[in-house]
Amino acid sequence: MTNPPRKDGGFSLIEVLIATAILAVGLLAVFSALSPALAVFQASKRLQEIQWVMALGELKHPVAGFSELEDLVIEEDDELAIDDEKLGEGFVFSREIDEKILEDDEDKQYDDGIYVMRTKIAWGEGDEECEEFVQLVWKKDAGGYEKK
């Protein structure tokens, strides 16, 4: 009596290797497409942290209520805290204010009450990792085009 022919239900080694190669190419394509998305995610996370530190700095060093805007100059503040809880750790908040001077054709200077406020948020080592925000601030009763 002869044995009936065997039917193998598995895959051969070559079929497994081809399926693995196709899977590897597909995963490589997926990961290369995700790389820019991860960079955008990290940049948006950093921007959110910067906005948070900016808000903490504004709470600790508000613009309103100062008679002299030059009093708002903050060299470097790395201890931003609310209720003794350090929230902006690793960031440095600084601010400087310069008076905007107008000159006319006769080289006379006028004070219009407008100041340039530069707020800088830095993190990490060096000056390469920072964001600077520039705002114009008008101080009521500061000038009004009076000659200096």
> How sure is the predictor about 59, in pLDDT bands with cuts at 50, 70 and 90?
confident
Q: Which residue has the higher pLDDT, 70 or 77?
A: 77
Provide the number of structural domains found in the chain: 1
125 vs 77, which has greater pLDDT?
77
E-assigned strands of 3-108? 74-77, 81-82, 85-86, 91-103
pLDDT of residue 141: 64
The phi, psi pair for 145, rounded to 5°, reads 60, 40
Q: Is the pLDDT of residue 75 over 70?
A: yes
Overall average pLDDT of the 123-129 stretch: 74
Contact call for residues 87 and 69 (beta carbons, < 8 A) = no
pLDDT digits (tens, 9 = 90+) for 6-43: 666 778 899 999 999 999 999 999 989 888 988 899 88
How far are the Cα atoms of 8, 32, 97, 126 from residue 111, in angstroms, in the given order? 93, 56, 15, 36
Q: Which domain holds residue 68?
A: 13-147
Domain-embedded: residue 4: no
What are the start-end ranges of the E strands in 1-143?
Answer: 74-77, 81-82, 85-86, 91-103, 109-123, 130-138
User: Please, are residues 90 and 77 in contact by the beta-carbon 8 Å criterion?
Assistant: no
Is 5 within a domain? no
pLDDT at 146: 47
**Whole-prediction pTM:** 0.60
In a domain? residue 3: no
Q: Is residue 96 assigned to a domain?
A: yes
